[in-house]
Amino acid sequence: MKNKRNNSTSEGQHHRTVTLLQPVAWLYEGITALRTILYDQGVFSSFTPAQFTVSVGNLTVGGTGKTPMVEYLIRYFKDKQKIATLSRGYGRSTRGFVLADPDATARTIGDEPLQYFQKFGEEVKVTVCENRAEGSRQISTLFPHIGLLLLDDAYQHRGIRPHVNILLNDYNRPFYRDHPFPAGYLREGRSGASRADAVVVTKCPARLAAEAKEEIRQRISRYTRPGTPVFFASVRYEQPVGYSSGAKHPVEVVALAGIARAEPFLDYLRDNFKVLKEVIYPDHHDYGPSDLESLLKYVKKGTFVVTTEKDKVKLYPLATAAGVADQFLYLPIRMDFGTDQEPFAQWLDEAIQTPMLEAARGIK
């Protein structure tokens, strides 16, 4: 009964907060809607890249699975086409266009781009630039053979006009139940979904009933263009991998993450290992030696620190310098489309692969 009262009180406080902030949210939504209209009518100019361009983004602030989605697209297309990724490079200390190389760090290009580079190496050109239009021009000049450009988190970056927009929607935080900032977590109004060429509902339960999928499709279709497909994907964690070695089979672990929504990561660890301690930092946390020092007091013989892949790119240099890299593991993560795998692959071929090849041949 106490939990029910606490939940009821929490929900009531949340409702009052939303109501209080709603006028400001309406103003914010109006400004973003006006901006969209000005871009759509050509008052503000948009640049169409020379490369066939696919944008992966969301309406919601925080993690919706953009990085695993970009990696899924890289794996799908890398044997068919030369690829470049272009990100803002959140949290980096550099400015302008930067091409990832073996000397790149999270400080020079950002943690997610560094993750792409460390995972795919020279198979993909990994770049960052806060001005996506300028970044795509630089890629075209440096690498004219690039046929596919993947924009990471550029859904609201209207200065560049992608050929295809993939909108991600977190199953646990659907945009159709949310409100624009500051009353909620939307970067723009729900109507922004009308720019999507496809919607991927991410972080779904592994076995989501067909009836539930259909209900979600109907809710999403209120805001998308007619015929816009909706696909469903879940998160698949793989066996922990050592920072300095291969797969490990730990029993007791310390969970460490600095990501937007750590719940799925923590739930997986709780279900599969004995979690001695959970250390959670804000998204894109800039780890330092003091973080490592405070963390290691929880680590005993036979215990491993398990992190996300995103955190690994920042922690690896620190753990290596301290001589404790062998006590750190990370969880590889993949997007799993389950029964939607074939329909999604068919859509990728029809919406991206075929027009991309036609563009390369000069067919209009």
Domain boundaries, the chain: 52-234+337-360, 239-331
Residue 239 CA to residue 337 CA, distance in Å, equals 19
Q: What is the pLDDT of residue 182?
A: 76
52-234+337-360 has which CATH code?
3.40.50.300
Residue type present at position 291:
D
Q: Please, which pLDDT band fits residue 250 given cuts at 50, 70 and 90?
A: confident
Residue 61's closest CA among 180, 201, 231? 180
User: DSSP 3-state assignment of 133?
Assistant: helix
Instruction: Report the chain's mean pLDDT, rounded to a whole number.
Output: 89
Write down the pLDDT at residue 288.
Answer: 92
What is the torsion angle, in degrees rounded to the nearest 10, for the CA atoms of residue 43, residue 44, residue 48 and residue 54? -120
pLDDT at 58: 95
* Domain 239-331 in the same topology as domain 52-234+337-360: yes
Using pLDDT thresholds of 50, 70 and 90, give the confidence band for residue 30: low
Alpha helix (H) residue ranges in the chain: 2-40, 66-77, 106-109, 111-120, 132-142, 210-221, 263-272, 289-296, 309-321, 341-348, 354-360
Cα(301)–Cα(159) distance, integer angstroms? 53
Amino acid at the residue 16: R
Residue 5 in this model has a pLDDT that exceeds 80:
no
119-131 per-position pLDDT tens digit: 999 899 999 999 9
Percent of the chain with pLDDT over 90: 69
Q: What is the DSSP letter of 297?
A: T
pLDDT of residue 39: 67
**Mutual angle of helices 66-77 and 341-348, in 10-degree steps:** 70
- Collapse the DSSP code of 122 into the 3-class scheme (helix H, G, I; strand E, B; otherwise coil) and give the result: helix
pLDDT for residue 325 is more than 60: yes
Architecture of the domain spanning 239-331: 3-Layer(aba) Sandwich (3.40)
- pLDDT, mean of residues 61-80: 93
Spatial CA neighbour of 225 closest among 260, 204, 196: 196
Query: What's the confidence (pLDDT) of residue 22?
Result: 67
- Cβ atoms of residues 255 and 232 within 8 Å: no
Q: Is 313 helix (H, G, I), strand (E, B) or coil?
A: helix
Per-residue model confidence (pLDDT) at position 148 = 97
> What predicted TM-score, i.e. pTM, was given to this entire model?
0.87
Q: Which of 82-91, 133-142, 246-255, 273-282 has the lowest mean pLDDT?
A: 246-255
Amino acid sitting at position 147: G
What is Dmax (Cα atoms) for the chain? 68
Closest C-alpha among 138, 126, 110 to residue 314:
110
| Residue 9 scores a pLDDT above 60 | no
Residue in the structure block whose two tokens are 């406080």: 13
Q: One-letter amino acid identity for 120?
A: F
**Cα 189-184-309 angle, rounded to 5 deg:** 100
